[in-house]
Amino acid sequence: MNLGPIEYIVARIDGDYAYLLQEEQSKEEEKCVARALLPPEIAEGTRLHYEMMEYTIR
């Protein structure tokens, strides 16, 4: 389990889930995350910082 730090971009939002792309790994698959685990003000294109199982907007 990778506890970070990792930088993500919100690629798309679909209902209760957001699909994240790791910034440094553009060819990697999207990571599906429940929106309940993310800051409520996210939108497509939002940059997120992940560390110690917590997402914050940067």
User: Cα(30)–Cα(53) distance, rounded to whole angstroms?
Assistant: 18
Contacts of 25 (CB under 8 A, 6+ apart): none
pLDDT of residue 26: 63
| CA neighbor of 24 nearest in space, from 40, 48, 8 | 8
Q: Render pLDDT for 1-51 as a digit per residue (tens, 0 to 9).
A: 677 799 999 999 999 999 999 987 767 789 999 999 999 999 999 999 999
Structure tokens given for 41: 């003000």
User: Cα(21)–Cα(27) distance, rounded to whole angstroms?
Assistant: 9
Check if the beta carbon of residue 45 is closer than 8 Å to that of residue 9.
yes
